[in-house]
Amino acid sequence: MKILLIGPQGSGKSTQGRLLEQNLQIPYISTGDIFRQIAQQNSEEGKKIKQILESGQLVDDQTTARLLEERVKKPDCQNGFILDGYPRNLEQVKLINLNFDKVFFLNTPKEVALDRLLKRGRSDDTEESITKRLTLYYQQTEALLDYYKNQGILAGIDGRGEIQSIQDEIKKSL
Ligand code: AMP
């Protein structure tokens, strides 16, 4: 089972993705986590990625696709995975054929997402980078909803409720 989680930053994708990982016994993969790990390395690549993360900009599509492709080839992805953070735009859709079985859209109003992000206090969560990331999300990532809707695999989930009730709704829809 290959599952994609889409939603603005702060919609609960990682929380729900990690719960699903336990429930379904397939790995939760976040491209943001992959980049945050690389950003800690004291290499040229690490420094470059760190700068991009702090600015809230996106890493280039080719690099992102290459890293994700390496990750989903690993044996633990044999029975599928839960993906958070890729694709971010239609260009990325074309770069890897991921063949999702189901796409969940965690529908969360901008104010709620922003409020959660400011509370979580991750190191790349400055007000400026959050605003930039949310803007990019609405400009580029929301366009993917129509794409997956046309494929008949999109399920909209209300992202505002309790963690467990959202998880139950996702499981019901699987
Ligand atoms: P996230 O944790 O999904 O909000 O991602 C954190 C940061 O990682 C983003 O602001 C981007 O800089 C980078 N990133 C994650 N996924 C992608 C992607 N699919 N394409 C480009 N950059 C990405």
- Read off the pLDDT of residues 118-157 as tens digits, 9 standing for 90 and up: 888 788 888 888 989 999 999 999 999 999 999 999 999 9
Q: What is the number of structural domains in the chain?
A: 1
The answer to whether residue 4 scores a pLDDT higher than 90 is yes
Q: What pLDDT was estimated at residue 121? A: 79
Q: What pLDDT was estimated at residue 125? A: 86
Q: How many angstroms separate the alpha carbon of residue 1 from the centre of ligand 1?
A: 23
Residues 21-47, mean pLDDT to the nearest whole number: 98
CA atoms within a 13 Å half-sphere pointing along the CA-CB vector of 158: 5
Residues 59-64, mean pLDDT to the nearest whole number: 98
Ligand 1, atom 2, residue with closest C-alpha: 32
In terms of C-beta distances under 8 Å and separation of at least 24 residues, what long-range contacts does 12-19 make, across chains too? 12/106, 12/108, 12/116, 12/159, 12/163, 12/166, 13/84, 13/85, 13/106, 14/84, 15/163, 16/104, 16/106, 16/163, 16/166, 16/167, 16/170, 17/82, 17/84, 19/163, 19/167
Ligand 1, residue 60: give the atom nearest the CA: 21
Ligand 1 site, CB within 6 A? 9, 30-32, 35, 52-53, 56-59, 64, 85-86, 88, 92, 133
Higher pLDDT among residues 116 and 5, named by residue: 5
Residues 77-96, mean pLDDT to the nearest whole number: 97
State the Cα–Cα distance between residues 62 and 16, nearest whole angstrom: 27
Q: Considering the chain, what percentage of its residues have pLDDT values greater than 90?
A: 85
Q: Which domain holds residue 94?
A: 2-173
Q: What pLDDT was estimated at residue 32? A: 97
- Beta bridge pairs of residue 107: 158
Residues 106-114, mean pLDDT to the nearest whole number: 92
The answer to whether residue 67 scores a pLDDT higher than 90 is yes
Q: What is the CATH number of the domain that holds 71?
A: 3.40.50.300
